[in-house]
Amino acid sequence: MIKWTQLTVFVLANISFLCTVNGLPRHIKIGALFLEEQKGSAVELAFKYAVYKVNKDPDLLPNSSIHYDIEYVKLEDSFHTSKKVCRQIRNGVHAILGPSDPFLGSHVQSVCDALDIPHLDARLDINSEKKEFSINIYPAPNSLNKAFQDIMDFFNWTKVAIIYEDDYGLIKLQDLVRTPGPFNREVFFQQASSGSFLEILKDIKTREHYNIVVDISNGPSLKEFLRGVLKLHMNDYKYHYLFTTFDAETYDLEEFNYNFVNITSFRLVDSEHFRTIQIFKDMERFQTAGSALMNKSRILQAESAMIIDAVYTFALALQALDRGALLRRTNISCADEEPWADGSSLFNYINSVEYRGLTGPIQFKEGQRVNFKLDLLKLKAHEFVKVGEWTLDNGINITDHTALYDHGNMNVTLVVTTNQEVPYIFMHHGKNYTGNNRFYGFCVELLDEIAKLVGFSYILELNPDGVYGVAHPVTGEWNGIVKQLMNHEVPFVMIRSDGNFTGNDRYEGFCIDVLKEIAEMVNFNFTIKEGHDGWYGIYNPESKKWNGLVLELIQKVFVHL
């Protein structure tokens, strides 16, 4: 009987040993830290959904299952956060996910680094210091800065206003501005909060900043901001808004269904990929989380998608480790300060994971996400549409030029003053012709085509005195078309006061904006030159010759719009 007992113990011990040597334990723990206000949120539900799906996949971890240990932490409470992390480690977690707060996240990272526990993150980390055991699903900040730099350069933004909500946003955007680029960009920072957006927008409008970077992630704040845009009529063709959020598609933009506004944004979740569509459908069938994971836009928010990708990254690393390494119980504590023997091996496997997730291609270098792809979005009549892509290697690649440059209804009506000038401008005479129908000829047809391309309306008016413009020799006052142009509030073409600009960048104004739009649509280059004598053109009846721009047009020196 004694021999049989010894044999039984020996066999059981060897079975246990073989189960461990073969790779993974049957039960693998992952700790997760969420903020108190995230309890029951889409982010927490995304985490639970991902663990559920991993365990249901017979091919991913067939002999093991992942179990989660969730703790909720309060903002700015690093003391109790550290204690909760230590409790999770004492209970045998193999990795820790979160929290999303940068202040608390850095404390958790310090504990993980000290004990060699892999730390999974899904948040922007602007701290450039190397972290030994950090794996961050959020795109690396230096690459992300390059993406925003590239899009601003693509749109030739030389003067930018930046609206941000909190100090963390300021630090993030300052790094963006510091990134070198081809333009000497003038930047105006303005911090905003609830109740202040209207005044801030008024200030930006007064300063004539037309290119605006918007770093607002709070839903009510964004709604207040957009209402201010409409109230101040800052939604015409001149204004261009670049949102830093990856969740622009999920915002309620119903108020802009019948109001043009020029908004561009990046998207991280590849919502058009077939795997993403399949997961969306599966989430709707997932009774616990389906309704909360997606809002009425039926689009998964970036943070929830990154949480799911983080769990799958961890699972794929475990799958690879199962083929050739050993993963034992952590059996460590914060009090002993003894690092986990298998932590470094597990981290290296996680760092080596490459696959396509909900947020596109996933790859890491020293724990930072690299070689990711962003979709470029443009707001159209009722929704955002994809118009291009960005990658670190290729920069901006426009895939839908029509959608990018088609502004739709720009809410702009231009008054165009003209003289009868055969063969360019003719007039129909008769009571049946009214408005723009009174005019015909080459210039009228050209103007009509440009208006269709760019998206504005126009009213043609006949210049009452019939002259292009002559300066009075005593008063210096102009008459004719020149006087009408000079009386407009905004010059059609003006030279920038900053002497650092060269070439075409020296000029701004409505005509310059229209010229750029047409050049991009038709795909031609142009060079802007000033008239040699500074005159629009005066006709000399004795010599029967023009001077100024009219003469240069006649001589075909350059094309003037």
Question: What's the CATH number where 537 sits?
Answer: 3.40.190
Residue 400 amino acid letter: D
37 shares its domain with 101: yes
Q: Measured between alpha carbons, how far is 342 from 226 in angstroms, rounded to an integer? A: 51
pLDDT at 534: 58
Tokens of 44: 């927490």
Asked if residue 37 is part of any domain, the answer here is yes
Q: Which residues pair with 163 in a beta bridge?
A: 190, 214
Same domain, 254 and 392: yes
Average of per-residue pLDDT across 17-30: 72
Alpha carbon distance 269, 106 (integer Å): 26
Note whether residue 68 is domain-resident: yes
Instruction: State whether 207 and 285 are in the same domain.
Output: no
Cβ contact 513:238 at 8 Å: yes
CA-wise closest residue to 351 among 320, 317, 322: 317
324 or 87, higher pLDDT:
87
Asked if residue 359 has pLDDT above 70, the reply is yes
Task: Determine the Cα–Cα distance for residues 552 and 557; give it in Å rounded to an integer.
Answer: 5
What total of structural domains would you count in the chain? Answer: 3
Q: What is the torsion angle, in degrees rounded to the nearest 10, for the CA atoms of residue 130, residue 32, residue 102 and residue 46? A: 110
Residues 395 and 422 in one domain: no
Q: Does 256 share its domain with 326?
A: no
Q: Do 331 and 454 sit in the same domain of this protein?
A: no
Q: Is residue 7 scored above 70 in pLDDT?
A: no
Question: Where a domain ends, among 362, 389, 405?
Answer: 405
**The token pair that represents 442 in the structure block:** 């080459």
Residue 184 amino acid letter: N
**Has residue 17 been placed in a domain?**
no
Residue 558 has pLDDT above 50, yes or no: no
Full domain range(s) for residue 43: 25-137+273-371
CATH code, domain carrying 96: 3.40.50.2300
Of 490 and 336, more confident: 336
pTM metric for this prediction: 0.74
Q: Which helix (H) or strand (E) holds 546?
A: strand 545-546
Handedness of CA 126, 129, 135, 139 (dihedral sign): positive
In a domain, 341, yes or no: yes
The pLDDT confidence band at residue 12, using thresholds 50, 70 and 90, is very low
Q: Does 94 map to a domain?
A: yes
Token code pair at residue 137: 């699903």
Asked if residue 446 lies in contact with residue 460, where contact means CB atoms within 8 angstroms, the answer is no
pLDDT at residue 65 in the model: 97
Confidence of residue 504 (pLDDT cuts 50, 70, 90): confident
Sign of CA dihedral 543, 544, 550, 554: negative
DSSP-assigned beta bridge partners for residue 364: 369
User: Would you tell me how many other CB atoms lie within 10 Å of the CB of residue 258?
Assistant: 9
Do residues 455 and 410 make contact, with C-beta atoms less than 8 angstroms apart? yes
Cβ-based neighbours of 148, under 8 Å, separated by 6 or more = 176, 213, 242, 244, 266
559 pLDDT above the threshold of 50 = no
518 pLDDT band (50/70/90 cuts)?
Answer: confident
Q: What pLDDT shows up at residue 380?
A: 84
What is the reported pLDDT for 546? 67
Same domain? For 155 and 244 the reply is yes
Cβ partners under 8 Å of residue 9, min gap 6: none
Residue that the structure tokens 């040699």 belong to:
532
| Residue 220: cis peptide before it, omega within 30 degrees of 0 | no
Quick: pLDDT tens for 435-470: 888 888 888 888 888 888 766 788 888 877 777 777
Measured in degrees and rounded to the nearest 5, phi and psi for residue 215 equal: -110, 75
In a domain, 561, yes or no: no
Average the pLDDT over each of 145-154, 206-215, 529-538 and give the range with the smallest value.
Answer: 529-538
State the average pLDDT for the chain: 82
Q: Is residue 560 part of a domain?
A: no
Q: Within a domain: residue 6?
A: no
Angle (nearest 5°) at CA 491 between 485 and 495? 130
Let me know whether 204 and 218 are in one domain.
yes
Give me the mean pLDDT over the 211-227 stretch.
88
Which residue among 405, 421, 447 closes a domain?
A: 405
Binning pLDDT at 50, 70 and 90, where does residue 494 land? Answer: low
Residues 388 and 503 in one domain: no
Same domain for 383 and 344: no
- Categorize the per-residue pLDDT at 540 as very low, low, confident or very high, splitting at 50, 70 and 90: low
Same domain, yes or no: 385 and 499: no
Verify that 260 and 382 share a domain, yes or no.
yes
Q: What is the DSSP string of 321-361?
A: HHHH---------TTTTPPPTTHHHHHHHHHT--EEETTEE
Q: What pLDDT does residue 523 have?
A: 66
pLDDT, one tens digit per residue, over 255-307 is 776 667 889 999 999 877 787 778 777 777 775 544 555 556 677 889 999 99
Does 180 score more than 80 pLDDT? no
- Tell how strand 539-540 and strand 545-546 pair up: antiparallel
pLDDT computed for residue 171 by the predictor: 73
